[in-house]
Amino acid sequence: MARRRLHMRKTRQVLRLAMKERLPQRVIARSLKVGRQTVSDYLQRAKVAGISRWEDIKDLTEEELEGLLFPSS
């Protein structure tokens, strides 16, 4: 069953908590009330897109970030 995508604001929070705050995936999942696998999936998408630092994306619009993480959508 296909999972629904998180809103880009929540996706941005996942990336910020992981890249800037350096929180573990389990803590991020719990604090944002999403599954740990969801956090893992979004971090993997960021890695594939070449995003490794919060500074790389902090000023992007939601549309730009979505385009990087979901290029075929």
Tokens of 34: 């999403």
Distance CA(60)–CA(69), nearest Å, equals 12
What are the extents of the domains in the chain? 8-68
The identity of residue 72, as a single letter, is S
pLDDT of 9: 92
Which whole-number Å values give the CA distances from 6 to 41, 70, in the listed order? 11, 12
- pLDDT by residue for the chain (73 residues), tens only, comes to 446 677 899 999 999 999 999 999 999 999 999 999 999 999 999 999 999 999 999 999 999 999 999 998 6
| DSSP tag of 56 | G
